[in-house]
Amino acid sequence: MPNSVNRRSRLGALPWIFPALFMIFAFVLWPAFEMIRTSFQEVSSSGITQGWAGLENYRNLLINPDLPNVLIRTFIWVVGIVFFTIVISLPVAQLLNAKYPGRKLVRWAVIIPWAASVVMSSTIWKWILDPYYGVLNKIAMDLNIYTEPIDFLANPKHSFGWLMVVAVFVSIPFTSFVILAGLSTIPDDIVEASTVDGATAWKGYRHIKFPLIKPALLVAMAINLINIFNAFPIIWVITGGGPGYETDTTTTLGYKISFRDQDIGQSASMASINLIIILLFIGIFLKVSKSQERNS
Amino acid sequence: MTTLLVPKRQKRFTGKKVSLTISAWVLGFLFFAPYFQMLLTALKPQEEITSIPPTYFPKNWAFENFINVWKEIPLGTFIKSSFVISMSATLIVMFIAIPAAYYVARNDFRGRKPFLFLVLVTQMFAPTALVIGIFREIAKLQLVNTYLGLILVYAAFNMAFSIWILSSFFSSIPKEIEEAAWIDGCSRFSTLRRIVLPLSLPGLATAFIFTFIAAWNEFVIALTLTSSPEQEPLTVGLTALIGFYQVQWQYLFAGSLIAIVPVVILFASIEKWLVGGLTAGSVK
């Protein structure tokens, strides 16, 4: 809440907030409107609007034979990655919070995938997974896990799994730092009191720490949902969504329809459906943070 | 000395500490390893990169890769584009977000709540989700393949984070300090400049660095809005190398490291304030 309660008119605020409003309206909300409008238009492959198309674009999208599989895959993508990210980030955050020599270095190491561009992280993973020159096959073969190199990205089911591994890898840092922020607000005496009471480490975590970091966790989950749903570079760089559409999610599918197949109208209808899903996620996020405000 | 008094407890404690330390270091190494692999590959000569079976470490350390990369690929041009675009977007964000955040932090006006709601919602919008709309708009404005197109989009999408984090810093400054300055005859603007901004330096640094890095790392919009090597930022320019007949991985990764290292250092410096800004005040 503001410190001073001068009720000023809207006009008084305008010079201060107008530029920000302008940027948001012109380059965030207008593109959203433009995209939804395009989804109802007939657009030539060179990008010229030919007139209204009614629901034609949506019809074309729904009869797209690849759509059902892409939808199922997107669901697995979002739920799987968010689940594994959270489950792994919880112990990771514990380790980042504990006291031991070199903690600062460990924290810095975990920050790298968060700070580095996801495109570049994806590129190195593509190289690590390379069947002939990649280090992953080399390590596995040196450890005698198997003797012939495996092409991790040859089978779409396997390559999609590896894409998810990379997505979990780049999502853990942010998530564990959010949980860490929650952990570091827990006063030491609460933890000590629980050990004095004879609670085991696991019970102490489950009943004392976990409820206290739950708010942080929910927020991290909501933000991850949106980020993972929109994740583009990982798929684009490592498999390009291929072969065919077999490792695409709705985000990369929408992009391909538009910038490769040149069907901008159909792509806009895919993206508009995506936008509605994101708005649902945002609604969840707002609800979660509202209920937390009330609880705190 | 305490070990003599309670030897058993102390010993168990040390054993636990050792395993804790080891697991933390292993964890740190796991996250560092891919980038270490990037470095090792960037330091291999071409013939070692394509040798089967591959090697872990270069036999001949090709440190000259980091010099040759500037000639082999247009790295200088990519960096220049990335820097100009990111810096311009960041400056626009700062100029626009500071007054907005200050006003929101200090005044209760009609429309304050809807404004903050709008900001919060746009923070959740990823440009990826709107890429087709953005492309149509930028094409209409005839800004495809220009720095300006990317600058405007990046500034708009990163506005929200800066407004949030700055307004939380501004409202933590006691109002009395400002009032004292007003009594001394300072105008609102000079109070902001001389009192509020110097007191919120960590917030300013966080907003600045975060916006810069977000623009520096962005990929989808840059991929869509640029198509010539002169305008392409690093993320797009370097990835385009993968499409070549023979990928020169050592240069691709040398270039990537040159792009990543400064960003990681900057990022680590604002980590403390970052989480609060990204979760928009929900994590206390």
pLDDT at B191: 86
- The runs of H, that is alpha helices, within chain B are 2-5, 7-42, 46-49, 65-72, 75-106, 112-124, 131-140, 147-171, 175-183, 188-191, 197-199, 201-217, 220-225, 234-240, 249-278
Q: How confident is the model at residue A251 (pLDDT cuts 50, 70, 90)?
A: very high
Is A118 part of the contact surface with chain B (CB cutoff 8 Å)? yes
Domain ranges within chain A, ordered by starting residue: 67-247
User: What span, in angstroms and rounded, lies between the C-alpha atoms of A150 and A143?
Assistant: 14
pLDDT at A293: 67
pLDDT at A260: 86
Q: How confident is the model at residue B229 (pLDDT cuts 50, 70, 90)?
A: confident
- The CA angle A204-A208-A210, to the nearest 5 degrees, is 100
**DSSP conformational letter for A149:** P
Helices B112-124 & B147-171 angle (0-180, nearest 10):
130
Name the nearest CA neighbour of B234 among B202, B264, B250, B258.
Answer: B258
- Weakest mean pLDDT among A25-29, B128-132, B186-190: B186-190
User: What span, in angstroms and rounded, lies between the C-alpha atoms of A258 and A252?
Assistant: 10
For the stretch A75-88, pLDDT in tens is 999 999 999 999 99
Kindly state the average pLDDT of the residues A135-163.
Answer: 91
pLDDT at A296: 58
Q: How confident is the model at residue A10 (pLDDT cuts 50, 70, 90)?
A: low
For the stretch A205-239, pLDDT in tens is 888 888 888 888 888 888 899 899 999 999 999 99
What 3-state DSSP class applies to A7?
strand
> Using a CB-CB distance cutoff of 8 angstroms, which residues of chain A are in contact with residue B268?
108, 111, 115
Q: How confident is the model at residue A2 (pLDDT cuts 50, 70, 90)?
A: very low
A290 or B154, which is more confident = B154
Q: How confident is the model at residue B155 (pLDDT cuts 50, 70, 90)?
A: very high
> Using a CB-CB distance cutoff of 8 angstroms, which residues of chain A are in contact with residue B154?
none
Is A93 part of the contact surface with chain B (CB cutoff 8 Å)? no
pLDDT at B29: 97
Inter-chain touch B242–A237, beta carbons under 8 Å? yes
The overall average pLDDT reported for chain B is: 89
What ipTM goes with this model? 0.89
- Identify which of A24-33, A142-151, B195-204, B271-280 has the greatest average pLDDT: A24-33
Inter-chain touch B282–A95, beta carbons under 8 Å? no
Inter-chain touch B163–A95, beta carbons under 8 Å? no
pLDDT over 90 at A4, yes or no: no
B132 and A254 Cβ atoms separated by less than 8 Å = yes
pLDDT over 70 at B244, yes or no: no
How many residue pairs bridge chain A and chain B with CB atoms within 8 Å of each other?
A: 316
Inter-chain touch B104–A2, beta carbons under 8 Å? yes
pLDDT over 60 at B3, yes or no: no
Inter-chain touch B159–A115, beta carbons under 8 Å? no
pLDDT at A185: 80
Inter-chain touch B282–A292, beta carbons under 8 Å? yes
> Using a CB-CB distance cutoff of 8 angstroms, which residues of chain A are in contact with residue B34?
113, 121, 124-125, 128, 169
Is B269 part of the contact surface with chain A (CB cutoff 8 Å)? no
For the stretch B158-180, pLDDT in tens is 999 999 889 988 988 888 888 88
- In which element (H, E) is residue A51 found? strand A49-52
Helices A210-229 & A67-97 angle (0-180, nearest 10):
140
Is A24 part of the contact surface with chain B (CB cutoff 8 Å)? yes
User: What span, in angstroms and rounded, lies between the C-alpha atoms of A248 and B17?
Assistant: 45
pLDDT at A183: 87
> Using a CB-CB distance cutoff of 8 angstroms, which residues of chain B are in contact with residue A105?
28
Return the residue matching tokens 């990771």: A92
- In which element (H, E) is residue A49 found? strand A49-52
Domain ranges within chain B, ordered by starting residue: 76-278
Inter-chain touch A23–B217, beta carbons under 8 Å? no
Is A104 part of the contact surface with chain B (CB cutoff 8 Å)? no
- Weakest mean pLDDT among A46-55, A134-143, B53-62: A46-55
pLDDT over 90 at B243, yes or no: no
Kindly state the average pLDDT of the residues B130-134.
Answer: 95
**Dihedral of CA B277/B279/B280/B282: which sign?**
negative
| Nearest C-alpha in A relative to B117 | A286
Q: How confident is the model at residue A31 (pLDDT cuts 50, 70, 90)?
A: very high
User: What span, in angstroms and rounded, lies between the C-alpha atoms of B58 and A239?
Assistant: 28
Kindly state the average pLDDT of the residues A192-217.
Answer: 79
Q: How confident is the model at residue B232 (pLDDT cuts 50, 70, 90)?
A: very high
Q: Tell me which architecture the domain covering A67-247 has in CATH.
A: Orthogonal Bundle (1.10)
Is B25 part of the contact surface with chain A (CB cutoff 8 Å)? yes
- What's the one-letter identity of residue B164? W
Inter-chain touch B50–A133, beta carbons under 8 Å? yes
- Whether domain B76-278 has CATH 1.10.3720.10: the reply is yes
> Using a CB-CB distance cutoff of 8 angstroms, which residues of chain B are in contact with residue A110?
27-28, 31
pLDDT at B52: 83
